[in-house]
Structure 1
């Protein structure tokens, strides 16, 4: 499945964490910047907005993924009901055995 256009805006690609080396390098850089120093924490409104955006993006990606596997086709117009002959049905008898009478 192709990724959406970069300028689409409604479907941002999910963030990838990267390789093990990249993750360790980011953690090390973050610790060197913040360890033992005062830094500004994110406000509650900004954090909630960021979480809501991430949740909406994740929901959109999940919905698109589910729709790509199982599209719901609905027939329109008049159609005959599906009928199965009783002789072809499998009736279950006592103790779970199949009986056809």
Structure 2
């Protein structure tokens, strides 16, 4: 289940809803012969950006509305054929702006 932003009664009544944005970096270890192929598949995934690749390692960032979404994406990556492991290195939460509901 994906995380839902915490919306309280007061913020709804005032017409302000605060939506955070999550960003993480991860290192994906792939079979060296398939690194370029897997890098292309990762780049095609929503919210995933490939930044570098060397040997069997691929460095990516993952962005989304919740930690749960980042975890789901990382799990999907780790289960890809040719991927040996996928490990989150860092996570940051941008508090964002108050948005109209």
TM-score (norm 2): 0.24
Which of the pair is proportionally richer in helix?
1
TM-score (norm 1): 0.24
Of the two, which has the highest radius of gyration?
1
Larger relative contact order (Cα-Cα within 8 Å, sequence gap ≥ 6):
2
Which of the pair is proportionally richer in strand?
2
